[in-house]
Structure 1
């Protein structure tokens, strides 16, 4: 009942603000762009309802009407300018942060000051740590992550002779959470079911709270947040569980220095090393660990689930993937070197990301100042900009683009090598105008190298030990959509059993 009341209040507020925005100038400043729906007060609100309830269809229709032009769609409280062309994507990629801001856009999407905290928004020092230290440490962390994956599968999907039904998204979140927390906070906390549940609950709370707050104008959000948010309580509970680890590490640093011999190699240690002033407080450290959990669990679990749905629908890929994993691990063990040589696993994951990215438009920006695209199209300050991921299914870049081909990027790498071109551009971690699942440019996902390694380890272990199929043979579970978000069916199950061949 309360959720319904919030929605009604949000709709009335949005109607008022849309009417106001028409007279305050945003509509007039963007009148040079084609519009999905009406620009008139109230009628534009009806258009926004259609966009919010069926974003995918609105974008498909708009793309068909204006195949080369920027256009605008009516969000709940603002106009959103949509880019579709490679040149437009490159313009967005090249624009500096003080012109087209990724941070402002992300803060609006997640409502960061309420969901993750002002400290995360104003001092994101954890991001360069993830981008640099975590990425550099991957070679020494792979064996630990693999060990945790083995234990997680033993606990969550025991090897059985007969088929067992498994809720795939729920299980993926637990596997990802355990494997990630092995590197975030280490043993034994990464195997504590209460900590894993908390990490997942925190992730869901951030998404739900952010989505709800965006229905309201900014002046109402502090009040609504106090009513609906459970994020602060989650951080408090996390602090109780993480407190002893933080205290022990701080004492060890004071007594033995920052580089003592048995210092844990994990994110918590790096955060303590990099923290200054208030960021060194236990609450702040806990909120950053949970924030990193949110980023890891939210994106990686959906990516993994999408890939598993494809694997279940196309089990004919299993023999070739198994052969690759067996061949490589026999030679290299479970190592970063082995992962780099699993080009079939990498291709399968990248192809799944190509067809099933986590949203149907990404690379959000907010124009900090008036901006002009390279084709001369002006965008006024304050405008939100996004990129339609239609390049993922463009025949300009891919043959038979709507078909799932798990080894598509293996073939593309082979053709590139044969012609003397760089083949790394077809790796899962490499971004481009035709590969935007991790973003693109300086704001591409800072943790994608670790995420890709983790996902490939999970997939490699799984294909080596399990048979997988869909409940209805050959039928991939349908995705769900919420505005621009694409979510793998959260209630769908796959069938698992011990490998038979």
Structure 2
């Protein structure tokens, strides 16, 4: 070592080796001590948890199922973002009612809400005024006036994306389904003008997908390096640029609206999140760019993913298509393109919920952060800072559902007909808690339900859809996250006798 004096070089290498080894043992010891439950993917000499993380990312379902059965107690998974404690399904009531658990703070920390470019997370999960949450609850949820607006934009987008070609043709699966939801949501988020703007659609869709990619990219780095390294990572840089661009566009849009109001056109009521944000803010300055990207981040990825899963299930269960078409026709014939018509689509709602039951976005949830030391019912202490989630295997349990592994599109339809109103797609129960439960239940679930129903209604009446010959759905898992096949080979053809009742 020419850069060191001779007397230092002789002991530098051993000292460095001892230091690194000590650090690795300390890191492993610290990780092990953070959880009172067995770590099911802990391996000898895996000091940096590389094998543990690989096993988690590839086989989380197997780890959870076997771990809960083996230990008959909660378990811990070693994940790239830290220890994740999995509680048995029967713990959900305790999670629902415990004030020492928080979901907002968990998402804020896990997805770097305090970093520039990630402000869409911060304004959703760390805003004292709860502007975005109130916007969703008070203006965007169960708002019947939105239905014809959404339907019109879905019809326009579907014609552009899937064309009027009556011959079977392969579609751009991921982009077209994301674009369909983006166009519909954009109409009530940013207004009709921007929703038809291709560049606006590109920016919001890119942020909605790039946000999570950037977060996962940042998670790979040690926590102490992230405040510096995020400045250099491609994903985080892209998020910052998109945030700047969207803020610029929104400033121009707000100014345009102000000009219209002063050019003799009188007061114009805009039926979208831009206008409603100003109303709910009560005179306070609104970061419209962050609001718009927060809505996009929350809605586009999850809603389009759910839509894709239902379409794949309908391709596999084509016997449901004609009954669904007839239900949609009757509902629109009786009620027009209204919220009442959407509410009458009980079989479609049932198919959506069954699709969600067998293809949920995650295999463990709801997730919570322990914000104060708390104890499980059996007295075991969960320390402040612990990350927990509830096993969701109850959705495939024979104790909750008959023939749970079978896809039954009529399952929740029959339960509703028998008087169980908790079977609606947007409802949440202990057995089926995809949207969360309790205080932190997803506020946008009603809007998502309407968007998915309207998309499916348009598709059912206007298109035939099938798998390309030889294709079989290939689902994938990344840790506790389920991913719908984004490279599915789907063919569509415009129906010769397509119904236009939804126009």
Judge same fold: TM > 0.5, yes or no: yes
Q: Which runs of 5+ in 2 are unaligned?
A: 1-19, 498-503
Q: Distance in 2 between matches of 1:336 and 1:18?
A: 59
Q: Distance in 2 between matches of 1:306 and 1:446?
A: 21
Match of residue 429 from structure 2: 432
- Cα 1:29–1:178 change in 2 (3 A) is closer
Indicate yes or no: 2:248 matched with 1:246.
no
- Cα 1:128–1:18 change in 2 (3 A) is farther
What displacement does 1:169 show? 2.2
Q: Distance in 1 between matches of 2:381 and 2:271?
A: 48
Alignment of 1:25-174 (within 5 A): 27-28=32-33, 30-31=35-36, 33-38=37-42, 42=46, 45=49, 46-66=51-71, 68-86=72-90, 88-96=91-99, 99-114=100-115, 115-117=117-119, 118-123=122-127, 124-136=130-142, 138-174=143-179
What displacement does 1:77 show? 4.6
What displacement does 1:377 show? 2.9
Indicate yes or no: 2:497 matched with 1:491.
no
What displacement does 1:341 show? 0.5
Per-residue deviation, residues 104-154 of structure 1 (Å, max 9, x unmatched): 211233222224225555314211221122215x20110000000110111
Q: Distance in 2 between matches of 1:293 and 1:449?
A: 16
Q: Distance in 1 between matches of 2:23 and 2:391?
A: 26
Match of residue 244 from structure 2: 236
Q: Distance in 1 between matches of 2:454 and 2:135?
A: 22
Which has the larger displacement, 124-133 or 313-322?
Answer: 124-133
- Cα 1:15–1:354 change in 2 (3 A) is farther
Is the 1:51–1:75 contact (alpha carbons within 8 Å) kept by the matching residues of 2? yes
Match of residue 330 from structure 1: 333
Per-residue deviation, residues 177-209 of structure 1 (Å, max 9, x unmatched): 000000001122101111111111111221011
Task: Name the Cα RMSD after superposition.
Answer: 2.5
Q: Distance in 1 between matches of 2:21 and 2:483?
A: 28
How many residue pairs get aligned? The number is 469
Q: Distance in 1 between matches of 2:274 and 2:494?
A: 36
- Cα 1:233–1:43 change in 2 (3 A) is closer
Q: Distance in 1 between matches of 2:208 and 2:312?
A: 22
What SS does structure 1 have at the residue aligned with 2:231? Answer: helix
Higher alpha-carbon Rg: 2
Per-residue deviation, residues 56-104 of structure 1 (Å, max 9, x unmatched): 22223223324x5211111125221101222x111111112xx111112
Please point out which of 420, 439, 443 is paired with 1:442: 439
What displacement does 1:261 show? 5.2
- Cα 1:40–1:255 change in 2 (3 A) is farther
What displacement does 1:464 show? 1.1
Q: Distance in 2 between matches of 1:381 and 1:159?
A: 57
Is the 1:429–1:448 contact (alpha carbons within 8 Å) kept by the matching residues of 2? yes
Please point out which of 395, 406, 411 is paired with 1:408: 411
Is the 1:139–1:335 contact (alpha carbons within 8 Å) kept by the matching residues of 2? yes
What SS does structure 2 have at the residue aligned with 1:438? Answer: coil
Match of residue 383 from structure 1: 386
Q: Distance in 2 between matches of 1:163 and 1:128?
A: 44
Please point out which of 214, 219, 238 is paired with 1:214: 219
Q: Distance in 1 between matches of 2:209 and 2:339?
A: 31
TM-score by length of 1: 0.87
Is the 2:68–2:74 contact (alpha carbons within 8 Å) kept by the matching residues of 1? no
Match of residue 9 from structure 1: none
Q: Distance in 1 between matches of 2:472 and 2:434?
A: 20
Q: Which runs of 5+ in 1 are unaligned?
A: 1-13, 418-422
Q: Distance in 2 between matches of 1:16 and 1:435?
A: 46
Is the 1:18–1:41 contact (alpha carbons within 8 Å) kept by the matching residues of 2? no
Q: Distance in 1 between matches of 2:241 and 2:392?
A: 36
What SS does structure 2 have at the residue aligned with 1:188? Answer: helix
Q: Distance in 2 between matches of 1:441 and 1:30?
A: 25
- Cα 1:263–1:356 change in 2 (3 A) is same
